[in-house]
């Protein structure tokens, strides 16, 4: 289920915003903060849909998001990520 109130449940909500808007190797630290976030998909969809250029959002750097947007310029990111989450959490059917 998609969480419209995702920002209030983000793993980074208590951290300093400057921790997510870093360069170079510091981005890996920011991405670790996102790793276990329960609303990672919502955050990433927000950044992709709005083409946010700076910072780490949903576990992806601006460079990673630009590459994704370039490969899929017309994607509806909320739908893509919601479907991916549903498929990842659905039990696998035997014999399919």
Q: Is residue 57 part of a domain?
A: yes
Task: Please tell me the distance from the alpha carbon of residue 60 to that of residue 8, in angstroms, as a whole number.
Answer: 19
34 is in an annotated binding site: yes
Whether 21 is in a domain gets the answer no
In-domain check, residue 26:
no
Name the residue with tokens 């790793």.
Answer: 35
**Residue 50, in any domain of the structure:** yes
Per-residue model confidence (pLDDT) at position 1: 77
Is 54 assigned to a binding site? no
What's the pLDDT score for residue 95? 53
Q: What is the pLDDT of residue 89?
A: 78
> Domain range holding 56?
38-88
Q: Which of 48, 39, 42 is nearest to 11 (CA)?
A: 39
Q: Give pTM, 2 decimals.
A: 0.85
Classify residue 27: in a domain, yes or no: no
Residues 56-79 have a mean pLDDT of 95
93 has binding-site annotation:
no
- Residue 37 annotated as lining a ligand binding site: yes
């Amino acid at each position: 289920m998609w969480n419209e109130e995702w920002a209030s449940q983000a793993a980074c909500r208590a951290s300093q915003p400057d921790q997510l808007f870093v360069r170079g190797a510091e981005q890996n630290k920011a991405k670790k903060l996102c790793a276990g976030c329960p609303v990672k998909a919502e955050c990433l969809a927000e950044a992709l849909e709005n083409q946010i250029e700076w910072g780490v959002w949903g576990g992806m750097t601006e460079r990673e998001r630009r590459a994704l947007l370039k490969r899929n310029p017309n994607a509806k990111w909320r739908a893509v990520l919601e479907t991916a989450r549903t498929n990842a959490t659905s039990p696998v059917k035997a014999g399919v």
